[in-house]
Amino acid sequence: MKTNKVILPGSTICILGGGQLGKMSLIAAHQLGYHTIVWTQGGDAPAVEMATYRFAAPFTDNNTFASVCHLADVITTEWENIPIWLLEKFEAAGKLVRPSSKIMAIAQSRRAEKEFAESIGANPVPWVFVKAGDSLPAAATTLDFPIIIKTDRLGYDGKGQTSIYNVLEVPDTMPVDVVIEKRIDLKGEFSILVARNSNDEITVSPAVKNTHEEGILRRSKWPNEFSDSEFETEAQNIVIKMAETLELEGILAVEFFVSTNNELFFNEMAPRPHNSFHGSIDAAYTSQFEQHIRAICGCRLGSLNFHSKFTMTNIIGNELNYWLLEDACLPVIHGKLHIHGKNEIEPKRKMGFFNKLSK
Ligand code: ADP
Ligand code: MG
């Protein structure tokens, strides 16, 4: 649904989900003079303490739903797996949901994302969808090995993915829907962030280069070898087309691969703040979180350009102690440290990040 409504400071923004992306969006919302609501289902939720109103209840809870309807002027998400039925229920109740349930539904399924990307002329890596219980080997042989099997839904930080190097290793079936992708040799990976508001205003970021370790984002860097390249321009055109086609009201981060033989591929998209743009808090004229709030409120957009060079390094698991306590970090600690404030440290869990800036 296209709506032109502007939400001014003093109004109330509801964020569904309680993770670090919500926390940083809330900080930006308060900085711009908004009141906020967080609705989480409980658990270790760093966003909760930032909000004006806090609800910890299952998403099926009708009392919380009624309270949010009463208090909120606009509803957004920080987690792409918020149930679509909940977003549709808010929309049916006449509430503004930005980005819309339609966009969120696409981002919840790798198949839907790839089909959408193809529909606007972007190029995903060769892929095939296999329904739960259907034969995998038959589908896998339509692609060149090696391949990666990814769950269609709910994957993140490399979870739900298996790389397979020959047909004998392919499982007969999977208990859930999957996509199989050709595993390509990467020259590199980058992401682009686009913002669009209900007045058709669009801004696009430069390409931020991403380096992964064990499927988890480790570093994001700007500038990089893709800066001012044809890959960057082509990818920017793709994400602008995506934002226009979806009538996006909010921000959308899109991940791209560049292969060793210089082909550009669409990887995946997320209609929310994205880890690879955490550097924007300290290095961009407008951070991705502020841009998210401006975009969902129908305000004029800022600039996603960077005024400083940066490398963002994720702090994972018990590396937190290194950054906070150990002498070894002293040569590199001059920068901006951001700690998410999660109660439990777990291996492979993102605990914070460090922005190293330079001129
Ligand atoms: P997640 O939701 O976990 O971010 P991705 O599909 O983005 O899932 O995969 C995580 C990382 O795994 C990618 O950023 C890339 O480094 C690697 N990867 C995923 N798919 C492929 C592929 N088809 N070819 C090569 N590398 C891949
Ligand atoms: Mg990814």
Q: Tell me the DSSP string of 290-359.
A: HHHHHHHTTPPP----BSSEEEEEEEEGGGHHHHHH-GGGGGG--SEEEE---S---TT-EEEEEEEEE-
pLDDT of residue 42: 86
Strand, coil or helix: what is 208? strand
Ligand 1 atom showing the smallest separation from residue 186 Cα = 25
pLDDT of residue 334: 73
pLDDT of residue 2: 53
pTM for this model (two decimals): 0.95
Six-digit token pair at 84?
Answer: 């679509």
pLDDT of residue 147: 95
pLDDT of residue 299: 97
Distance 91 CA to ligand 2 centre (A): 28
The H or E element that residue 66 is part of is helix 62-71
Cβ pair 90, 82 in contact under 8 A? no
Residue 55 CA, chain-centre distance (Å), reads 23
Cβ pair 275, 350 in contact under 8 A? yes
CA distance to 116, 151, 169, per residue, from 166 (Å) = 29, 19, 6
Location of structure tokens 């004998």: 168
| Residue 10 burial class via C-beta count within 10 angstroms: exposed 0-12, middle 13-18, buried 19 and up | exposed
CA distance to 110, 207, 212, 236, 279, per residue, from 335 (Å) = 36, 22, 21, 29, 11
Ligand nearest to the CA of 110: 1
Six-digit token pair at 35?
Answer: 């009141």
Q: To test the ligand 1 pocket, which listed residue (79, 148, 154, 191) has its Cβ within 8 A of the most ligand atoms?
A: 148
pLDDT of residue 83: 97
Cβ pair 333, 313 in contact under 8 A? no
pLDDT of residue 86: 98
Handedness of CA 235, 357, 346, 50 (dihedral sign): negative
Instruction: Mark the ranges of the chain whose per-residue pLDDT is less than 70.
Output: 1-3, 331, 333
pLDDT of residue 158: 76
Six-digit token pair at 1?
Answer: 């649904």
Instruction: Enumerate residues lining ligand 1, CB below 6 A.
Output: 125, 148, 150, 155-158, 181, 183-184, 186, 189, 212, 215, 255, 267-268
